[in-house]
Structures are given as C-alpha cells and as structure tokens.
Structure 1
C-alpha cells in the first residue's frame, strides 16, 4: 500500500515539473503586451505670466485742499457730491486782521507814491536857456544905445525912459532866473539820493501790499481744479491747520485703478504692462499700467501702481474695491506641454516621448510654469508626441498603444 502511494506521488511530481517546464517555454516566446496611454502632440501657445493684486477705484486728477494759514472756519460753502469750478469758494477762515492789514498797507503805499511824485517834480528843469536869452537881449539894448550916442542923435526923453525901464525889467528877470537856476541846481544835487531812498520805500510798501493781499486771500479756500467734491473734513467753527486736508476734489468721469503692491513685486512691474481690472460684477476692463510708484504712498501706506480705467457709463465710482490681473511677461507662441506630462527624478525633469510605439525618456529644459502648462526651452520639437495619460506607469522602452491624442488647444 505504501509502495503504491509513493509511486503515485512520484508520478504527480513529474507531471507537475513537465507542466511547469512547458509553461515557462510559452512565456519566454510570447510578445509583451502594449500599455494603453493617451498622447499629447507638442505645439506652441501663449502662456502669459500674470499676478493677481488687490486695488481700488480712485478719481482722476484728485487733489487735496487745505488751508495755507491757521485759523477757524467761519463758513463752509461746499459738500460731498457738489460739482465745483476752478477758483470756486469752498470755505472761509475767520481772519479779521487780514483785511485791516491790507487796508493799512494800501494807505501807506499811496502816501509814499504821492511823496515820490512831488519829489520828482520839485525844482524842475534848469532855466539856463532863458538866462542866456535874457543876457543877449540886455547886451543888444546896451549896444543899440551906445551906437545911437556915437551918432549924436539922442532919442527923446520918453524913448529913453522906456528903454531904461525895459532894461531894468530884463535885468530883474535875469537876476530872478539866475537865483532860481542856482536853487534848482542845488535841489537837483540833493534830490538824487532822496529819490533813490524814497523809491526803495515805495517798492517795499508794494511788497507789503502783496503779502497782505496773499494773507487776505488765504482766508478764502477755493477749488484748485474743476471736479466733484469727493471728501469733506470741513465744518463751521472747526479749526483749520496748514497741511490738513479739508476737501478732496477729483474727476469722477475719468477714473483710475490704484493697485496695492507687495514690495517684492515692485521690481517686476513697469508702465505699459497689460492689466485686466475686475470690479464687482462688471466685465474685466482691459487696460495698461500708467505708472508704478518708486516709494510708499502716504495715503495708501503701500507701494502702488495706477492704470486708467475706461468709464464711459460712469459705473466705476471712487472707493470701489477690485483686483487687477497684471501680465508680467507675455510668453507668446512658446513650445509647451501639459504640466501633468512632466516627470522628475534626481537628474531633473523629463517626458516620455513616443517613438515607434515605445516610450523613450527625454530630458527637457523647462521655462515658465503656470501650473497647467510648462514652457519647453529645449529637448522637444513641435508635433512630437509624448505620453500624457498614464505617464506615471511608464518605464523607458515599454511598448505603448495610443488610445487618443489630446488636442493642441
């Protein structure tokens, strides 16, 4: 019985070994099965490098208005929402001394100008020409009388009396003019320094009038530009200090978007970069950065950039909050592959290129990566196919069968 059992077991063992040997021969001769995968055909696309930043709508040409001298607000003539013109009165300061100072300065100037006019006309021109004329007339009279006496024909008594009287009159007038000429010459010598000194006083008085006018004008707080009153911190009876804004005036027809910047982002921003501004439920407005601040802006307490915001319907209002998508670099028409198709090992990034229905490891040099697409700087060419779906199961040399090819878009 035992002999029969041992013989049966030996037969079964031999049979099992034969079957195992035959099975091994079949596996060595069979072809490995291809792994089904999806492929992606390498192409070019735009991969804009963007950054999303918060911001707010601000008025175009916004200007803060404050007092130039300290005082107390006597009256306030404008409120938030009012349309104002350049030069329009917004508020007045209680400054009664400014008006009296102006009147006193004007009176002083008027007095000095009158004194200057009198001094300019004092003395007049020297009568030298008239003196020479009188001297010639006297000499001619004497000469005529002398010539008459030489001929022996003496004039009558009446004529002699008349000639004598005329001679006396001419000599008297000559003496008067000579005296006036001497006085005028003396006055002219004295008048020059007096005129110079008085002219300096008049000029100083004019400057004082201008200063008094500026002081009086400072009590009138006016709009520097035409626009809308956006903010008001002025109230009747409240103090007003230089540098403290009382009003803010700006244009609501032309608005801008002020982007708040992280200091690390500032070096990468510059005027002219494209920006898509999203405010509320409105469609994104396409614009460009107009400026980037080189320093922290006091009002925003941040670095800022500004972009003109098209506002044809007046929907955007100053103070609205939004966000701007700024294009840092366009990366237009660059060779790219899906990020999911890129693998990485200790030697760097690679993809599985499909060659003759086999997966081949190809090293690539990646560029910009936006999380969905990876720019390929080298390693691949356009229209080559790479493994996309199922790439994680691939090993170099494995046979693949492409079930579908992802579209280029």
Structure 2
C-alpha cells in the first residue's frame, strides 16, 4: 500500500502527457483551416484619368489704367468694386497745365499765321519790283545789279513763305498734341469691367515723363482665366482642346468646366531664371512647372481674382464601367491583361481563391476598368488577412 502511494505522482504525470499527445495527434489529423482573404466587390462606377494641378484664378482681361500727363489727381469718380462701362469717366488730373500748353500752342500758331500774311505781302511787293526790273533791263533803264537784287529778294520771300507754311503745320501738330493732353486729364474706362484696385488716391501728384503711373486697375470678371501649374512630368500628356475642370476651397463639391486654350512653352519662372542665371549658368534642382490656360464663364462674379483652384485635366473617362481596385491586379500577362484571384460563391468550393485572366481599360492608379473577365457579382482578392483579422467591409467593398 505504501509502495502504491509513492508511485501515484508518476502515474498522474504520465496520464497528463498521454492526453497532450492524443490532442496533438487529433489536431494534426483535422482538416486545415481555409485561408482568410481581404476582398473587394466588382462595382460599376464612373472613372476618370486626370492630370492634377494647382491653379490660380485671374481676370480674362485686366487693364492698368494710368495717366499720360503729369499733375495732381484732382478727383476720383469711382470707388473700389464699382462696375463701369467703356468710356465712363473714372478720374480727373488737374487740367490747368495742359490747358495752358494748349493756349501756348494756339498762340504760337496765330503768330506764325501773322508772319505768313506779312511775308505774303512782302512777296507780292518783291514780285512787282522784279517785274519792273525785268521790263527796264532790256532798255538799260536799270542796272544788272538792281535786277539781280530784285530777283534775289523775290526768291528769299518765296523761301520764307515756304518755311512759314512748314512752321504752321508744326504748330498745328503741337495744337493737336496739346488738345490730346487736355483730353488725357480726363481718364475714362478703356473696357467694361469692375474696379479691382485703386493705386493712386485723390491729391497725389503723378509724374508721367518716364513711365505712365497707374491710377487704378480695371478687370472684366465676366470670364475667368485659370492658370494651372502643371509639372514637367505631366505637361507632355496634355494638349489644347482637352477638357479641364477645377474646384475652389470654399465649395469643393462644385466643378467648373472649360477647355484648355494654351500651354505656355516656357516655365512660369522662365524670365526670372534667365535674369538670375545669366550666360551659361545652370539652374538649381528645383521643380519645373508650366502654365496651362483655360477660361470659364463667371456671370455671377462668384469666382474672384487670385483664388486657388484644384485643377483636373481629363485624359480619359469611362461611364458606369466595371472596375476593381488596382490592388487586385496580379501578374501582367500581356498588354492590358492581368491575372486576378476570385473568391468562390458563398457555400461553394473549399474557400480557396481561383485565378482568372481579365482585360483592363482605363487605370487611374486607384481603380481600374475591367473590360473582360469579370461580372458585377464577383469578388476579387486584394490581400490576405491573419487569423486575428476581423471580418469587415470597407467603403470600397473590401471584406474578409
């Protein structure tokens, strides 16, 4: 009895080891668990392949309204934000100096006209004197010297009259210029538009000898020009005539559509780079962007100058096309041909994914169009999940 009690711990230990070995054996004989997949449903959707760019809004037509004459800005007839029409009076430069210049030019012209009348009278007298000398010369009633003197005096008067005619024409030009200067003191709108900036205030003196000073800025905001900055990697993919649209930060859900009008041939900072480099210097390794331009109507003036635009240039579209996530694509087996793994229908097969070949179309690097090989009921494998990964559906249709 004592010997049995002493052997009891060894029997218990042996029994536990035997149970563990049996459990391990049974587990090894069990059917392997089917792998778990992350999958996505084949869906119909509108796809776009676009070039993305950041743009800036500007007026289609903007004019710096300046002064062509010097003087004090006597009055401004408009204020910031006013809508004006072509020919409307905008500002007035003090006209006194210009009016005095006109009076001086008119006085000079009148003086020359008086000199011309005097010279014309002297010319008539010289013609009569020469005629008498010519009659008397054959009869030796006058000397050759007097005859030649009368002839020279006649030529001088004729030349003087011609010179006065030229001076009078010059004076007429000066009068026209003076009248124009008087007109320039009255600044009018060159286009229909809206006052977007006032640079010079009433009472300031403007000097127009070397460069026309800007009084105000006028812009036509009925049409907006979008200047999109396209990277050098993408600019080779776009061309005039392609459809483009943009959104603004204040209303990201509304799209504004237009057609590309032009792509500038030089980078946007080309002039600055050339002036900085000079000669054969090389530029730093900075990003290069080219401006793509297009216009959109702006009848309600909702779009404003210098707004930031998120621009998309359409390279291709597919309406209500079957599509799958790009992550579902497997081995490429030919042009636009790929392998994908398909999950079996619920309750069918052993749960293992099967491989199928598909023909793809438009690819925007997020989703890819499926032209052949799949139906809207299929689910494609986009990855494998671990044993602890919960079974969930993502917004794009991904599930375990």
Bin the TM-score by the shorter chain.
0.5 to 0.7
- Computed over aligned residues only, the root mean square deviation of the Cα atoms, in angstroms, reads 5.7
Give the CA deviation at 1:220: 2.8
Kept after mapping to 1: 8 A contact 2:342/2:381: no
Residue of structure 1 equivalent to 2:97: 97
The residue that corresponds to 1:139 in the other structure is none
Equivalence for 2:347: none
**Residues 83 and 323 of structure 1, relative CA distance in 2, 3 Å threshold:** closer
SS at match of 2:102: helix
User: Whole-Å Cα distance in 2 between the matches of residues 336 and 381 of structure 1?
Assistant: 11
How far apart are the structure 2 equivalents of 1:368 and 1:85? Answer: 49
The corresponding residue for 1:49 is 50
Query: Could you list the per-position Cα deviations for residues 313-351 of structure 1 after superposition, in whole angstroms to 9, with x for gaps in the alignment?
Result: x251534x755343334233499641332469xxxxx85
Aligned residues of 1:280 and 1:322 also touching (Cα < 8 A): no
Shift of 1:382: 4.1
Contact persistence 1:73–1:236 (CA under 8 A):
yes
Distance 1:354 1:91 in 2: 75
Q: Which residue of 1 aligns with 2:302?
A: 316
SS of the residue corresponding to residue 250 of structure 1 reads strand
The structure 2 residue matched to 1:216, chosen from 174, 177, 182, is 182
2:270 matches 1:285: no
- Out of 326, 351, 356, the position equivalent to 2:311 is 326
Distance across 1 between alignment mates of 2:340 and 2:104: 95
Equivalent positions of 1:290-369 (< 5 A) are: 290-291=261-262, 295=268, 306-312=293-299, 314=300, 316=302, 318-319=304-305, 322-333=307-318, 337-342=324-329, 352-354=340-342, 359-360=354-355, 368-369=363-364
Normalising by the residue count of structure 1, what TM-score does the alignment of the two structures yield?
A: 0.56
Which runs of 5 or more structure 1 residues have no equivalent in the other structure? Answer: 128-170, 176-181, 345-349, 394-405
Structure 2 unaligned residues grouped into runs of 5+: 129-134, 140-147, 272-288, 332-337, 345-351, 387-396
Name the CA distance, whole Å, in 1 between partners of 2:46 and 2:118.
90
- CA deviation map 1:376-398 (0-9, x unaligned): 9xxx95438773255467xxxxx
Q: Return the alpha-carbon distance in structure 2 between the equivalents of residues 221 and 297 of structure 1.
A: 35
- Once the two structures are superposed, what CA deviation does each residue of 1:75-129 show, in whole Å capped at 9, x if it has no partner? 22222243433333322233633322221112222333454467678549x99xx
What corresponds to 2:107 in structure 1? 107
CA contact (8 A) 2:360 2:368 kept: no
How far apart, in 2, do the equivalents of 1:59 and 1:203 lie?
44
- Choose which of 372, 380, 388 in structure 2 pairs with 1:387: 380
Which structure has the greater CA radius of gyration? 1
Tell me the equivalent position of 1:146. Answer: none
User: Take 1:245 and 1:303, find their aligned partners in 2: how far apart are those partners?
Assistant: 29
Q: Please, which of 184, 201, 204 is the counterpart of residue 170 of structure 2? A: 204
What CA deviation, in whole Å up to 9, does each residue of 1:176-200 have, x standing for no partner? xxxxxx9998776555533443333
Contact 1:50 1:327 in 2 (8 A): yes
Between the aligned partners of 2:31 and 2:68, the Cα distance in structure 1 is: 94
Instruction: Return the structure number with greater helix share.
Output: 1
Shift of 1:246: 1.8
Q: How does 1:231-310 map to 2 (within 5 A)?
A: 231-242=197-208, 243-252=212-221, 254-259=222-227, 261=229, 267=235, 271-272=240-241, 273-278=243-248, 280-281=250-251, 283-291=254-262, 295=268, 306-310=293-297
TM-score, with structure 2 as normaliser: 0.57
Q: How many residue pairs are counted as aligned between the two chains?
A: 330
Instruction: Evaluate the alpha carbon distance shift between residue 307 and residue 82 of structure 1 in structure 2; reply closer, same or farther with a 3 A threshold.
Output: same
User: Aligned equivalents of 1:50 and 1:358: distance in 2?
Assistant: 35
Distance 1:305 1:118, change over 3 A: farther
